[in-house]
Structure 1
């Protein structure tokens, strides 16, 4: 225990020095194996992430030093705004080289641009929307990794994955952002995209929503803000408070890491509080809800996954998942207190990354499918 405590102290000190200097590569001298041992102490990880968010708060809301590993495809932002778009319609529907997978382009008046989506076309089942994590690439990681195809290949469900919502939290923003542009994802998905999908493909009238990381936060917020719109919702490794230290820190890190200003998303303290699902979960009543998170303990598989990356990537993955676990436990407690039924799945190991995210899609689908089939 003394060795573990010492390592945690070194990590917290290293993070503090690295963040303060803007050079995270100085975050201690931990090796992947030493950090793997450290990650087995969930409480220490929570302490370290509190320290991290405290330093990021001093650096400002658009701090980007922690998660450079998620920066990708950012040259497209901000997208030009086309005020001539006044009608939501299907601009194009193109086949891909993969049977059953299509690429859709939908015009969005609320976003002022055309929005692309990956679509796995089903045969009369529910429509299940996926919300991606912080990078939200042009082609979803759920598709690139084959996870969505594997899980849904033997179902009648249609899967729809909107693209390029990086750093958006999948929310309706109060103001356009000079770096990230215009985001009106709640309006787009519920009022513009869903009617088009339901006109174009056969379906059973049921809707599901599955999100991971930023997408998990966005999915649960979107469902809470639109009671009854979704029949089943699953959140994988999300954070659902916007006002406690870890919740607010996660939001600011998510938006700020990509250069955006979180105060353009929610411009007033009232808006931040209104979107805090832990404080206000009533909109989820009657929705089948599945929540999962790990504890940040690094697995041997993850040590191999991070082997060709900076040690700080492994540390970040561990800390963020410990924070997600804390956030998920808090939401579960709030739901239980309010008498709102839900299912939780807390994994004994796993960091915030695709070695853990990918295998969690099947249990997430299993957790909501009885409400949508």
Structure 2
């Protein structure tokens, strides 16, 4: 079945024949970018807009394969800071039997359902799209085995935990690299405001309502950690101290290197505190989790690439890859 025909078939099955047809989530286009990759556009019914995706295909497409949803950070892949540009994911997954789906949109949204439209970022229903609409489209379009995993970095490391909590049973495993799961504390709110307000120019209260209100507590993975029971969990965060990639050998531009060490180091140190808070809560609840604690490293891509490699065997086992 072709991508286009699968999208049409899915649309026809989602709407009763005797009802007025509402916009459905379907494949709009699929453009091959290599023997195992494609740029795919899916229409989101909840947001009424087209969402671009980067898709990596399994090595062997004759057999059903699991799906890894891999989220970009604060920029949502709309800038040059993406898994596709900054890491080796194309070569890393080339010999593996898994579909890797990465949304290339969603900057500064935390990939969540916003309570109100935002003047800057518009309508955002990312939890609905990622947790309900997109998996149906992916399973109808590709030869999947129905098993999903999800991973994210930085702000999206919070998002993947919330997505697993909100859509229980959808993801067999979750990996969060350098995230801050404490969203309803003063520290967590400040961290989110730095992303959504300072960088994105949007109003964070349009996302989850008044600060420290019920919406922020509802989306705090530490407060809701019990709902992660049964999910294979992988968490990581370094100390923020300069590591092997925080050198001129890897970052030749002195100004970029200084920023990576100073700013990236400070951010990573903060995410380490958050990660330890979540790890402690999971331990109290007797919920197993793999927690990797590198002794050095900043908030930057080479470390996240390493973490994806380290976590992959655990993620792969959960989805039959």
Query: What TM-score comes out, normalization by structure 2 length?
Result: 0.86
Q: Which residue of 1 is the match for residue 83 of structure 2?
A: 142
Q: Which residue of 2 is the match for residue 76 of structure 1?
A: none
Q: Which residue of 1 is the match for residue 186 of structure 2?
A: 245
Q: Which residue of 1 is the match for residue 294 of structure 2?
A: 347
* More strand by percentage: 2
Q: How do residues 200-279 of structure 1 correspond to structure 2 at under 5 angstroms?
A: 200-256=141-197, 257-268=199-210, 269-279=213-223
The one of the two structures with greater contact order (alpha-carbon pairs below 8 A, sep at least 6) is 1
Q: Which residue of 2 is the match for residue 128 of structure 1?
A: 68
Q: How do residues 41-120 of structure 1 correspond to structure 2 at under 5 angstroms?
A: 86-96=23-33, 98-120=34-56
Matched length: 289
For each residue in 1:97-155, what CA deviation from the matched residue of structure 2 results, as whole angstroms up to 9, or x when unmatched? x2211011111111121000000022221011011101122477211234222332221
* More helix by percentage: 1
CA contact (8 A) 2:158 2:221 kept: no
Distance in 2, Cα, partners of 1:192 & 1:171: 14
Q: CA 1:140–1:197 in 2, change beyond 3 Å: closer, same or farther?
A: farther
Structure 2 residue aligned with 1:155, among 66, 81, 96? 96
Secondary structure class of the residue paired with 2:235: strand
**RMSD across aligned positions (CA):** 1.7
Structure 2 residue aligned with 1:369, among 302, 311, 316? 316
Gaps of 5+ in 2: 1-20
Q: How do residues 169-188 of structure 1 correspond to structure 2 at under 5 angstroms?
A: 169-188=110-129
Gaps of 5+ in 1: 1-83
For each residue in 1:71-119, what CA deviation from the matched residue of structure 2 results, as whole angstroms up to 9, or x when unmatched? xxxxxxxxxxxxx9711110111111x2211011111111121000000
Structure 2 residue aligned with 1:330, among 273, 277, 280? 277
Superposition deviation, residue 221 in structure 1? 1.1
Distance in 1, Cα, partners of 2:237 & 2:28: 37
Is 1:298 aligned to 2:242, yes or no? yes
CA contact (8 A) 1:115 1:162 kept: yes
CA contact (8 A) 1:92 1:106 kept: yes
Q: Which residue of 1 is the match for residue 13 of structure 2?
A: none
